[in-house]
């Protein structure tokens, strides 16, 4: 479903990604671990084409992201085609990024109505189902500021799901939350994992990684240093740097 090959990304002289390879099969959950500054967010942003990579390529469900290939060359897609591609990729941010002036239900139907041109009534019904799924059926008409951080993040997940994405990307979805609110968000993500949602999740929650991940990826210095089933990477890491990282976060 997601194929990342030889991706390099620099900001000026700073090399942030130095040849990242990653493959995620449909229905699988990949958890990305790694120290701060190792390039995890840049990788997710590249998959969503919020960043243009300097070398390598990324495809989702067989479709190149941001480019089309013709005669062995890559040509950049137009903005409207990139926006269309982005509707297949859900993104959940650390800081929720809900629209503060819209109600919960308006936040969720915004993209389905304005981007996918879904009829409003249909979008509202789908949004209500999604709200029930994240345990917030009674908050449809609330504004984000009236919700706890955990509730806001659950709305953000419902909003991402409203586009029926092929893959959901999470960038440290619980890092901005008070500790007592982390569990309710992780429970929603666990439920998505059980129902076969393809996800790439950057997190420092090791217990959660062990429970939901099909594959754990450890990034360091802009490369994937090691990857494999949770037991292998978390209990028998092959690299000293993975061991050092795990001993700090566990």
Give the 3-state DSSP-derived string for 29-64, with helices as H, strands as E and coil as C: EEEEECCCCCCHHHHHHHHCCCCCCCEEEEEECCEE
Is 41 near Mg ion (CB under 5 A)? yes
Is 42 near ligand ADP (CB under 6 A)? yes
Is 30 near Mg ion (CB under 5 A)? no
First to last CA, the chain: 31
Stretch that binds Mg ion, among 3-11, 37-45, 103-111, 219-227 (CB under 5 A): 37-45
Stretch that binds Mg ion, among 34-42, 52-60, 173-181, 240-248 (CB under 5 A): 34-42
Separation between Cα atoms, residue 237 and residue 244, nearest integer Å: 10
Nearest to ligand ADP of 13, 71 (CB atom): 13
Is 174 near Mg ion (CB under 5 A)? no
Is 14 near ligand ADP (CB under 6 A)? yes
Footprint (CB under 6 A) of ligand ADP, residues 21-40: 34, 36-40
Sheet holding 167-171, edge to edge: 89-92, 167-171, 199-202, 29-33, 215-220, 223-228
Distances (CA, A) of 247 to 217, 240, 250: 16, 11, 6
Residues that bind ligand ADP (CB under 6 A): 11, 14, 16, 34, 36-42
Residues that bind Mg ion (CB under 5 A): 40-41
């Amino acid at each position: 479903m997601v194929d990342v090959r030889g991706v390099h990304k620099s900001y000026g002289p700073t090399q942030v990604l130095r040849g990242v390879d990653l493959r995620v099969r449909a229905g699988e959950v990949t958890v990305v671990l790694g120290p701060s500054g190792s390039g995890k967010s840049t990788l997710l942003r590249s998959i969503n084409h919020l960043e243009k990579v300097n070398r390598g390529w990324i495809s989702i469900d067989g479709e190149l992201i941001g480019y089309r290939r013709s005669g062995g060359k890559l040509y950049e897609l137009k903005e409207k085609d990139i926006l269309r591609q982005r509707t297949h990729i859900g993104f959940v941010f650390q800081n929720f990024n809900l629209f503060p002036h819209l109600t919960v239900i308006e936040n969720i139907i915004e993209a389905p109505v304005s981007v996918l041109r879904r009829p409003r009534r249909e979008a509202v019904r789908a949004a209500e189902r999604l709200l029930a799924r994240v345990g917030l059926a009674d908050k449809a008409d609330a504004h984000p500021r009236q919700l706890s951080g955990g509730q806001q993040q659950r709305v953000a997940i419902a909003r991402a799901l409203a586009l029926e994405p092929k893959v959901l990307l999470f960038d440290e979805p619980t890092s901005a939350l008070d500790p007592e609110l982390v569990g309710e968000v992780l429970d929603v993500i666990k439920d998505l994992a059980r129902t076969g949602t393809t996800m790439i999740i950057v997190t420092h929650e090791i217990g959660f990684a062990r429970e939901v991940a099909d594959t754990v990826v450890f990034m360091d210095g802009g490369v994937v240093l090691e990857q494999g089933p949770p037991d292998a990477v978390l209990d028998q890491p092959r690299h000293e740097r993975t061991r050092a990282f795990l001993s700090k976060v566990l």
